[in-house]
Chain A
Amino acid sequence: MAAKPTTQDSFLSRLLHNQILIPLAALLLLAVFNLIADPSFFKISLGHNSNGDPVLSGYLITIIDYGSELAILAIGMTLVTAASGGQDISVGATIAISGSVLLRVLCGTDTRPEVLHSPIIVAFLVSLLAAMLCGAFNGALVAFFKIQPMVATLILFTAGRSIAAWVNNNELPMITEARFSYFGGYIPGIPIPTPFFIAILVFIATWALLKFTNLGLYVQSVGINEKTARLNGLNPEIIKLGTYVLLGVCVAVAGLIKVSRLSTINYSVIAKDIEMDAILAVALGGNALSGGKFNMSTSVLGAYVIQFLTTTLYKFDVQSDALSAYKAVVVIILVVISAPTVREKTSAFFRKLRTPDGAAKRG
């Protein structure tokens, strides 16, 4: 009799630990692999960029630099996943749209402006609006028309890059202003890449929003059981729509970083396949892809782990186009491990192993 609470307790604690365990284990595995293959992977050196400002460089810095927009997307994707039980696969295309709008406002009709047409903050707000509109479009299809999230977002997934090209008449505006490159590069005097700070900022803002309003709880309850949530006085449609709009905000921030890195845009290549990485980050963070309970910080950790994987693969001269094949294998392994039927089978298997063992000890 007394054994019952303890098993429940250990099960609970195991569940609690489980979620952060997956990304941590993956991180550890990758780190050990790199340590054995080439310890210089972890070297960080302080150098100077072309402007003479101090910058840190090294593979680890690359990871926290390029993993940041992924982390930002993962934050929004976690919420969308939790509320609607599906994923938004249009984030890459929406980044293209918001980036294109950003450049359009900054440059006007001139493709190589000497001075910017409008302040960066105004351009960012306009692109934010565009991305939120895209999010609202997706959210409306999902919430009000009850279309599966992945199919609803398939619409923007195809049309998004076309719309992005159309916004700028298929021209590729170039920005020479140095201030604009701070967002995706370094602020003079600070040797740590700016995207990392932006990611931390977004994370804290979202965390505060979820903590101090009841949004986090509402999102969870809608994801767990929509009908019950409605009976408890929540409006599931509005909450779902809200998560998609929030993802739109994340997309706009990620778009700003992406465009700022290059000071220009390439409609068909920018943020390509990032939707896959974002979904992978959520899955790696131990969140159920079918909605319900979620943990934002493990998703963020998952995002950096994926960037770790990407950087490792690049280091071993894997072609960028072939990357997706390796990542697909990782996804399949992950989802197979986390599939309920597989978990049941394995736990049953372990129980079978343990029983004769325990019996022997007792005897």
Chain B
Amino acid sequence: MAAASPSPALPAVAAPAARWRRGLADPAVGIWLAALGVTLLGWAVVAVRGGEFLTQPNITGILQNCVALGLIALGQTMVILTGSLDLSVAYLASLGTLVAAETMAGSDGNMVPAVVAVLALCAGVGLANGLIVTRLKVNAFIATLGVALILRGWIEDNYTGPAGDVSRSFQRLGYDRIGPVPVSVFLLVGVALALWFVLRRTRLGHHMYATGGDEHAARLSGVRTERTVLVAHVLCALCVGIAALFLAARFGAGSPWAGTEARYDLESIAAVVLGGTLLAGGRGGVVGTLGGVTVLAVLDSVFNQLAVDPFFKNVLRGVVIIAAVAVYARGRRSAGRSR
């Protein structure tokens, strides 16, 4: 009874006019406008230099680059919204590719067991993260950092290089495309839709926002906050598992560096925050995160086209992330002093 009462109240808060006005100030809208702007800017700069930016291979490349980071960032969105954090995603992605490739061992018949094994592994790790955070009351930062160390030790002790073999037909997940759109993008969109539905249309989603917004108030209004955080961690880890399956299909083998080389732990958090989700939790969503991932991927592609030094690229990326978040913070401050 008590748990059900907050959920119907939430969607009906805003009147149509206010909702429209708030829609324009919504960071999720802003980040997609920024993505559009960056694309146009990239197109203009590359065109001035006599290149073509919006070519079909380039678009495919950008979309392809979105998938792995996008899936992980979507998972990260769930935990961050709930007021938690997951720093173990990079090593979990690496381990996922290794488990997938080794279970498959090159044969198509093992595809289903491999998918099940990876998802089970990830669900287990997510459960462990969630239990350490909720039951042992360890700060999420330290808890997931500790789990990351545990996974890292496990990986480094058992693998020294690429291992396993991904079956031919599974690799099609990484390479097939329909027109200019890689099939893996549909996977990303599917996961995004599912998570959007969970967040906006189910009781669990409302509980996540409530827990992230003010855990104490949520608990007092009857939300089982511990269970909510636990579920968020499991969902996040499952997203990482799906990303790992995609990465395995892409590489054709399991790689101990699949997740860490691209720094998915910190990059995914950057993408989530770039998408307007509050790092403290309670505000934000899936749409913004996808926008954040798109901006990062488009920027990367522009830098590549302009042959920017890869090290200098990092400098620029750092500046862009800080600047973007500063713009949001400014908007929020002028809208009302809420931190």
The answer to whether A and B interact is no
Q: Which residues of A contact B (CB under 8 A)?
A: none
- Contacts from B to A (Cβ < 8 Å): none
